[in-house]
Amino acid sequence: MKHARTNSLPFMKMHGLGNDFVVLDARARSIAMTPALAMAIADRHRGVGFDQLAIIEPGSGDAHLTFYNADGSTAGACGNATRCIARFLMDETGKPALTLTTERGTLFARDAGDGRTSVNMGQPQLRWDEIPLAHEMDTLELPIEGKPTATGMGNPHCTFFVEDAEAVDIMTFGSAHEHHPLYPQRTNVQVASLIGPDHLRMRVWERGAGLTLASGSSSCATAIAAARRGLTGRKVTIELDGGTLQVDWREDGVWMTGPTAHVFDGHFTHDWLEMVS
């Protein structure tokens, strides 16, 4: 089989609690990503498949990260992908802590021990125009049935607190609210229920990706919303479909901690790239 590696594009497949990513390293080789190419890679039958695609580029810190959704749109933040890449870079460099830049801003990551990685996702965006919403309103309880809370974590979020998150048809519910007119840039949708002191069960529908097993930025947004509404303190455990994350809203930002996995490395062949370009 003749596919010269020099004409192919290497990639890494990673996931954080089943929230899966294709990661491209463009620090030594520039990559001309397009929405069409991102969508082709996202195809789980004809490509590789992912919830988000991340590109590692040179930056003012240890690296700069750019994110794409499965529909080819860009995302300002992706918490679990940031943790996965931070773990990869820490293993590569031997550093216990890193500085990463994103559209969201400068993020700090560190080794949390026991195979876990923490990332500071920055301060939440709580004003209507930061999230953004379509016009001025109270972000704690939106004028939507269920009175969800709006939060920005570099991308917009809409969090519904319900009696039982398991009982919600998240695919129907999430897709119905992703394009709500109050969110001009669409929104990630979470349904969450309190299952114990500072302990939440949360399910998520991501804009541009759909149902995901986990979402880092959604976990942060849900923790912020729960604390603002007095349901929890500022340090919570969140149970997602794919596993457990810890979120701690501190003075210096929202820290998210959990496991990561580097599943495999591969190459997109020159022929496949030519076919989808």
Is 19 assigned to a binding site? yes
Residues 6 or more apart whose CB falls under 8 angstroms from that of 64 comprise: 56, 57, 58, 100, 101, 102
Same domain for 240 and 264, yes or no, is no
d(C-alpha 133, C-alpha 189), whole Å? 14
Model confidence at 211, pLDDT cuts 50, 70, 90, reads: very high
- Percent of the chain scored above 90 by pLDDT? 94
Report, as an integer, the average pLDDT of 206-218: 94
Is 206 assigned to a binding site? yes
Could you list the residue range(s) of the whole structural domain that residue 13 is in?
Answer: 5-120+260-276
Q: What is the pLDDT of residues 91-116, one digit of tens each?
A: 999 999 999 999 888 999 999 999 99
- Percent of the chain scored above 70 by pLDDT? 97
E strands along 121-187, which residues?
Answer: 149-152, 156-161
Same domain for 23 and 116, yes or no, is yes
d(C-alpha 67, C-alpha 216), whole Å? 13
Catalytic residue selected from 78, 84, 158, 220: 78
Report, as an integer, the average pLDDT of 31-40: 95
Is 193 assigned to a binding site? no
Does the active-site annotation cover 78? Answer: yes
27 falls within a domain: yes
Same domain for 112 and 64, yes or no, is yes
**76 burial class (0-12, 13-18, 19+ CB within 10 angstroms)?**
middle
User: Scanning the structure block, which residue is given the tokens 């303190």?
Assistant: 233
Number of H helices, E strands in the chain: 5, 17
Higher pLDDT, 128 or 3: 128
Q: What is the pLDDT of residues 168-195, one digit of tens each?
A: 999 999 999 999 999 999 999 999 999 9
Asked if the model's pLDDT at residue 5 lies above 70, the reply is no
Same domain for 247 and 264, yes or no, is no
Number of independent structural domains in the chain: 2
144 falls within a domain: no
Whichever domain contains 202, its CATH number is: 3.10.310.10
Asked if the model's pLDDT at residue 1 lies above 70, the reply is no
Report, as an integer, the average pLDDT of 128-157: 97
Is 69 assigned to a binding site? yes
Same domain for 108 and 82, yes or no, is yes
Is 217 assigned to a binding site? yes
126 falls within a domain: no
Report the predicted TM-score, pTM, of the whole model to 2 decimal places: 0.93
